[in-house]
Amino acid sequence: MASHPTPEDASPNHDGSKPSANSLHRAPTRAKGGRSKKGAVMGGKLAALSEFPLDVMYEIFCYLHPAQLLAVSRTNKTLRGALLRKNARWIWKASFRNAKDIPEPPTDLNEPQYAQLLFDKSCMYCLSPNAPHISWKARLRFCKRCMKTEFIRITDVHNDEDEILVRSFIRDRVHSAVEAYDGNLYPRAQVEVFCAEYNRIHNDKAQISVWLKDQLWIYQRISKHGDRLQDWTHRNELKRRQAEKDEIRQIRREFIYERLREIGLGDELEFKKSRDDLNGDWLLKTPQRLTHRGWKIIEQDVITLVQASRTKRLAREKEATLQARRDLLAKVYDDFLALKPLGSVFPVVGDLLTVDRIRTAIENTPVDQSMTWGTFRRLIDKIPQSWFVQWRQNADAALVNVVSRDLRRPATIADLSLASTHFLLRASYHADAKVYVKMYPDVLADASVVTRAASDSLSFRTKYWPWVPSRLTASRYVLKVASALVSLAGHDPDTTTRAEMELHDPWFISYPDSSESQRAAVMRWPYVMNEILQKNIKKLSVLSARCRWDFRKVGLGVYSGDPQDELDAGLPEVDSITLFEVDTRLFEVDTGLFYVHGRLLDIGAHVLEVDIELSELDMGEWKSMDGFSGSEGRGGEH
């Protein structure tokens, strides 16, 4: 009987080399029901290929998967001859390069042979379809019948020259195709080729030694490639099984969806989140086909699942609506505050959400009913003034509590307004977090004080927190520094308020840490406190009123210090920079002469003789942050 042509029949190797022993086996025979000769003449859709120029047809074939290219090469004699000629090898190479997931072709097989090994499911001996056995290292596919006739055990090898030695060589140089408890099976043809070659050259010790080393090297190389093919097969098998499971799951889901639509619950399937929740339940994701009888068993459980999903969806939609209303309230409240006097202190949005009238309006208004800008403005306008007064009294009392607790002395509301009273805010509860200085009454409306990871679930969900001093502390060290600065400016720290201190507007200059540095920072009140703590400044002096006036006059012109710029400005040339930066809070100058409106100004002449050595204060109190560590655990909320 005629057998169908294989790639090996056309040319054992494209480069004309001798084919490996793996491709040598008896001529295949075809059993009844085998492949027919249909398709010997190009016809149907493939008939159009005969009209294409050969180079165009080759270019098309390059983009085929190797499995598809193998199938095309077996369509008819014309395509077989075109694809299996030596000068067409580049097509196969390109096809394998484009198939990124396939291990590279080995050196012991040409590309058509490799494609046959990977994708032809028939037995390489009898060509029976769907051969169940494959040995990647032996390069063979075979059926159960041929396994009995075409494979032998090592004990079946007989050699008159040196039987035991030959058997040991075979174990390390011929790949077994089947591993069995009673002895591995080796391809008969490969064993015979090995024995024949061994018998031919075994008397030549030099030649036999080289040949055995070569065979061992080939064996090891093929073993490594076979391992890669085994991994590739395993991955493909996992993908195939997963695809089968996914297909069964999808069929099961569609079956359940159809039943839900029949009983009037299909509308919930239109919502992606609800559908995802349903698909994640084991009732729908089990990879098992569902029958009508099976549906009756799980029907009530699925209905309960759909109803629960609907309840969660409605809750999500309601919460999204409520959050949108809270966001709109925040915008309306910003507009409300914009009309208030500058410097006035009002509660944050989180506090407004605690007002019963506003909270009830947001939460109890039907979800399908819109709330406009005017609605929230009327709600804000209806808040009684007594509520704002009471909020301020409670907040002031909470701050007094912080001062009394951390400074360990009785405090009053009047103490909050003193220039020497400062609060410390740690950016987070981490030990190395930055610490910032805050003053009253700014601390009541400071966003950095309010914004925090709250323990209250409602506040965390709404993004708006009511004001609480849980992260605020007072420090005796900071009190000493602030009192010293107030005294340095010529005022009494026990009575001078923040407003009075800002009215006098003292300016302080810090000295560089090292003699090499020529930069000095000029700082205004109250920003000087943050600079001291952040930069660990050790010594400060206060500038005279005349010097402050001269600095203010420089506000319209900042000189770069470049001599050419100074000449262009009509200023005399000097060696040092004039003014580095002008800012409302602080700026830096050279610790020497600088220009003010075209004339030289000596900083030393305008620095008051009184100064303060910050290093003399007890830094240990600052390091311990007084009651900061203790307040972290308490939370400090009221």
| pLDDT at residue 634, as a whole number | 37
DSSP 445-510: T-HHHH-S--S-HHHHHHS------TTEE--HHHHHHHHHHHHHTTS-TTT-BHHHHHHH--EEEE
pLDDT digits (tens, 9 = 90+) for 108-153: 999 999 999 999 999 999 999 989 999 999 999 999 999 999 999 9
Q: How far apart are CA 394 and CA 386, in angstroms?
A: 12
Helix (H, G, I), strand (E, B) or coil at 98: helix
Sign of the Cα pseudo-torsion (332, 334, 335, 337, in order): positive
| pLDDT at residue 534, as a whole number | 76
> Do the beta carbons of residue 539 and residue 612 sit within 8 Å?
yes
Q: How far apart are CA 229 and CA 142, in angstroms?
A: 17
pLDDT digits (tens, 9 = 90+) for 528-573: 888 887 776 777 777 766 566 655 554 434 444 444 444 444 433 3
| pLDDT at residue 32, as a whole number | 44
| pLDDT at residue 548, as a whole number | 62
Q: How far apart are CA 263 and CA 600, in angstroms?
A: 92
Q: How far apart are CA 604 and CA 179, in angstroms?
A: 96
How many residues are listed for the chain in this entry?
638
Which amino acid appears at position 98 of this protein? N
* Residues forming a β-bridge with 437: 424
Q: How far apart are CA 395 and CA 348, in angstroms?
A: 12
- In order of 51, 407, 537, 542, 553, the CA distances from 484 in angstroms are 100, 17, 14, 11, 29
Half-sphere exposure of 228 (CA within 13 A, CB side): 11
> Do the beta carbons of residue 22 and residue 190 sit within 8 Å?
yes
> Consecutive 10-residue runs of the chain (638 residues): their mean pLDDT?
41 42 45 45 58 81 94 89 90 93 93 95 94 95 94 86 84 90 90 93 92 95 96 94 95 96 93 92 93 95 95 93 94 93 88 92 92 95 94 95 93 94 82 83 84 50 80 90 88 93 83 54 80 74 65 46 42 30 38 37 44 50 44 38
Q: How far apart are CA 263 and CA 259, in angstroms?
A: 7
Q: How far apart are CA 119 and CA 141, in angstroms?
A: 10
Q: How far apart are CA 245 and CA 310, in angstroms?
A: 28
| pLDDT at residue 558, as a whole number | 41
- In order of 23, 222, 247, the CA distances from 227 in angstroms are 19, 9, 30
Reading phi first (left if > 0) and then psi (alpha if -120 to 50, else beta), residue 33 is in left
| pLDDT at residue 45, as a whole number | 60
Q: In what helix (H) or strand (E) does residue 57 lie, and over which residues does it extend?
A: helix 54-62
| pLDDT at residue 28, as a whole number | 47
> Do the beta carbons of residue 308 and residue 348 sit within 8 Å?
no
Q: How far apart are CA 190 and CA 196, in angstroms?
A: 10
State phi, psi for 474 to the nearest 5 degrees.
Answer: -115, 155
| pLDDT at residue 597, as a whole number | 35
Which amino acid appears at position 624 of this protein? S
